[in-house]
C-alpha cells in the first residue's frame, strides 16, 4: 500500500518516522511544501489552496491514503478535503485530550502556529474537553523557521523559547502540547528549558493509530520504499537527500532519548 504524507515543510517527517516504525512494509510518499513554508502566518485561503494542490499531486502518484502531517493544514482544510475525496484522509490535532488525561489537576500549555491556535477546530476541541478551563495557548511560529533551516539546539533557539515562555508561571503547568509537527525536533531543547515536572506530548502516535484503523490494519504487501518530494519536485539532489537523512537521524536520537 502506498501512503502519502504532506506537510508545509520538514515537520511532518516526525510523523512519517512514527508511521515507518509501525508499518515497515508500507510504501510512503512524503511531500514537503518548502517553497511556500511556513504556513502558520499565511491566510486560510492560501493554505487551503496549497493543501488541495499537494493532495492532488500525491493522489496522482498513487497514494491510497493521505496523512496531513501538519496541524495548520488540518485545521484549515480537513473538512473540505473529506467532502471532495473518498480515500482515507487523516489529519492531526493537538493532543489536548491526552494532556488532560495525563494531568488531572495541573494546567496545560498548547503550542502551535497562529492559524492552528486561532482556528475553530481547536476551539471546538478545547471547548468540548476543558470544563475546568485549564488549557492555555502559546503560538511559537519562530520554531518553524528555526526547524526549516536545521537549527534545533542553538543559543538563539533557547533564547527564543525562554522569551516566549516568560509570561507563564511554569510551575503551574504539568503538560506542554506540541501542536505543530515542526516542534517535535525541539523536544530536547524544550525539556532543558521547562521544569522537570512538565511532560511534553505530541499527536504523532495517535495519528498513526488512526491511520492504521482507517486503512484496515498494518500493510504487509509493500517494500518499505520512501519517495520524497519538495513542492512537486522529486528529491534527487544529493544535498537535499542528505538533509532528509540528517533530519531522520535527529529523530532517531530524540526517540532513543524517550525510550
Is 70 among the residues known to form the active site? yes
Average pLDDT over residues 38-64: 93
In this structure, are residues 32 and 7 in contact, taking their beta carbons and an 8 Å threshold? yes
Say if residue 89's pLDDT is above 80.
yes
Residue 10 binned pLDDT confidence (cut-offs 50, 70, 90): very high
CATH number (domain holding residue 152): 3.40.50.1860
Domains held by the chain: number: 2
- Do 190 and 156 share a structural domain? yes
- Do 251 and 172 share a structural domain? no
d(CA 254, CA 259): 9
Q: Which of 171, 202, 233 is the last residue of a domain?
A: 202
- Do 166 and 80 share a structural domain? no
Q: What rounded mean pLDDT belongs to the chain?
A: 93
DSSP summary character for residue 113 = -
Distances in whole angstroms, Cα of residue 109 to Cα of each of 31, 138, 201: 29, 7, 10
- Do 194 and 104 share a structural domain? yes
Q: Which of 180, 202, 224 is the last residue of a domain?
A: 202
Average pLDDT over residues 173-202: 96
- Do 211 and 198 share a structural domain? no
- Do 189 and 124 share a structural domain? yes
pLDDT of the residue at 121: 86
- Do 193 and 120 share a structural domain? yes
- Do 160 and 133 share a structural domain? yes
Q: Which residues contact 10 (CB under 8 A, 6 or more apart)?
A: 32, 34, 147, 148, 182, 243, 244, 247
pLDDT of the residue at 255: 80
Can you give the length of the chain in residues?
259
Place of cell 494542490: 53
Say if residue 161's pLDDT is above 60.
yes
Containing domain of residue 50, as a range? 2-92+204-258
Give which of 38, 3, 58, 13 is closest to 248, Cα–Cα. 13
pLDDT of the residue at 18: 95
The pLDDT > 70 percentage for the chain reads: 98
Distances in whole angstroms, Cα of residue 139 to Cα of each of 8, 69, 143, 152: 17, 18, 10, 17
Q: Which of 3, 63, 180, 254 is catalytic?
A: 180
Residue 258 binned pLDDT confidence (cut-offs 50, 70, 90): low
Q: Which of 159, 175, 202 is the last residue of a domain?
A: 202
pLDDT of the residue at 40: 77
- Do 193 and 116 share a structural domain? yes
Residue 36 binned pLDDT confidence (cut-offs 50, 70, 90): confident
Q: Which of 29, 58, 68, 70 is catalytic?
A: 70
- Do 186 and 127 share a structural domain? yes
Amino acid at each position: 500500500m502506498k501512503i502519502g504524507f504532506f506537510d508545509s515543510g520538514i515537520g511532518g517527517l516526525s510523523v512519517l518516522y512514527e508511521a515507518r516504525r509501525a508499518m515497515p512494509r508500507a510504501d510512503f510518499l512524503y511531500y514537503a511544501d518548502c517553497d511556500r513554508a511556513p504556513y502558520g502566518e499565511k491566510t486560510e485561503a492560501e493554505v487551503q489552496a496549497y493543501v488541495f494542490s499537494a493532495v492532488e499531486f500525491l493522489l496522482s502518484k498513487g497514494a491510497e491514503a493521505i496523512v496531513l502531517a501538519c496541524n495548520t493544514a488540518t485545521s484549515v482544510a480537513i473538512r473540505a478535503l473529506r467532502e471532495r475525496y473518498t480515500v482515507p484522509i487523516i489529519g492531526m490535532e493537538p493532543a489536548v485530550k491526552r494532556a488532560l488525561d495525563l494531568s488531572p489537576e495541573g494546567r496545560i500549555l498548547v503550542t502551535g502556529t497562529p492559524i492552528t491556535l486561532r482556528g475553530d477546530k481547536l476551539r471546538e476541541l478545547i471547548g468540548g474537553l476543558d470544563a475546568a478551563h485549564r488549557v492555555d495557548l502559546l503560538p511559537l511560529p519562530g520554531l518553524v523557521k528555526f526547524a526549516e533551516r536545521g537549527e534545533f539546539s542553538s543559543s538563539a533557539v533557547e533564547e527564543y523559547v525562554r522569551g516566549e515562555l516568560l509570561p507563564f508561571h511554569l510551575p503551574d503547568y504539568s503538560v506542554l502540547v506540541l501542536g505543530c509537527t515542526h516542534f517535535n525536533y525541539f523536544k530536547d531543547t524544550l525539556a532543558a528549558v521547562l521544569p522537570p515536572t512538565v511532560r511534553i506530548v505530541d499527536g504523532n502516535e495517535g495519528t498513526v493509530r488512526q491511520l492504521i484503523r482507517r486503512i484496515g490494519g498494518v500493510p504487509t504487501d509493500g517494500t518499505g520504499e520512501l519517495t520524497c518530494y519538495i513542492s512537486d519536485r522529486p528529491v534527487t539532489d544529493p544535498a537535499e537527500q542528505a538533509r532528509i537523512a540528517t533530519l531522520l537521524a535527529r529523530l532517531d536520537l530524540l526517540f532513543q532519548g524517550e525510550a
